[in-house]
Amino acid sequence: MAALQQIIAGNWKMNLTLSQGREFLDKLEPGLKNKKPARKVILAPNFTLLATLFPRCAACGVELAAQNCAAEESGAFTGETSVAMLKAAGAAYVLVGHSERRQLFAESDQLLAQKLHAVVAGGLTPILCVGETLEQRRQGAAVEVVLRQLSDSLMDFSGARLIVAYEPVWAIGTGETATPEDARLMHAEIRRFLQGRFAWGQDVPILYGGSAKPGNAAELLAQPEVDGLLVGGAALNPDSFLEIIEV
């Protein structure tokens, strides 16, 4: 079976203003010459940067993701951003259910199911994030939690394209990385779930996220079923992001 195209995605979270985003691209663009042609690069800046960065990103083959979206299509939802707006601003993907949204903004799998529906209806590709807390891992419940997140949020999923990102909460922004073995075992469980749920489950890229950096990227990417990385901190610096792209 042909391996999936590897994806290196950078999630800037609530970092980098428009001018800082432009400076990032000033350094990224020349470095992309060394990118493995078969590798896809995605950046998820704050939504206020999408429309301005889009033409430059498109010109150098970098695709854009939004970090979040509204579950509703349009209407009286002050402060929310619809999928249609994100698409018009140049996003091709939307992160759904990042652990920071789940934990800090109390997003439930039921709400995420609605957001997934909105992303599909709007013609973008969701990047569904799942992952257990340290407490859940210590209790031996990591696999159960991740599979429940998947099955609850994908209950009514009717899309034909999906990316999943496994991001153990205890490894995000902590410097603590899941071992390649932890990642391999969880990704195998996720793959089994996806194959059981979708006829095209084998084609869903499964990314790993959580303190991914130049020093551990190659080993993580070498694991079976690790089809790419979702990078936070190390994606804020164009040099370390490029190093990860090139490993």
- For ligand 13P, give the closer residue by CB, 126 or 233: 233
Is residue 153 within 8 Å of 112, Cβ to Cβ? Answer: yes
Minimum CB–partner distance for residue 20 and ligand 13P (Å): 17
Minimum CB–partner distance for residue 133 and ligand 13P (Å): 14
Is residue 167 flagged as an active site residue? yes
- For ligand 13P, give the closer residue by CB, 121 or 245: 245
- For ligand 13P, give the closer residue by CB, 72 or 243: 243
Minimum CB–partner distance for residue 59 and ligand 13P (Å): 25
Using CB positions, name the residue nearest to ligand 13P: 232
Minimum CB–partner distance for residue 228 and ligand 13P (Å): 12
Report phi then psi at 67, rounded to 5: -90, -15
Residue 222 half-sphere exposure toward CB, CA atoms < 13 A: 8
- For ligand 13P, give the closer residue by CB, 35 or 98: 98
Catalytic pick from 63, 98, 100, 117? 98
Contact residues for 125 (Cβ-Cβ < 8 A; gap 6+)? 92, 93, 94, 119, 159, 161, 162, 163
Separation of alpha carbons 8 and 16, rounded Å: 19
Catalytic pick from 63, 107, 132, 167? 167
Is residue 117 flagged as an active site residue? no
Closest alpha carbon to 83 in 45, 111, 124: 124
- For ligand 13P, give the closer residue by CB, 12 or 157: 12
Closest alpha carbon to 170 in 244, 103, 235: 103
Q: Which residues pair with 44 in a beta bridge?
A: 11
Separation of alpha carbons 141 and 139, rounded Å: 5
Is residue 13 within 8 Å of 100, Cβ to Cβ? Answer: yes
Residues at the site binding ligand 13P, with contacts judged by CB under 6 A: 11, 98, 167, 172-173, 209-212, 230-234
Minimum CB–partner distance for residue 183 and ligand 13P (Å): 13
Catalytically active residues are 98, 167
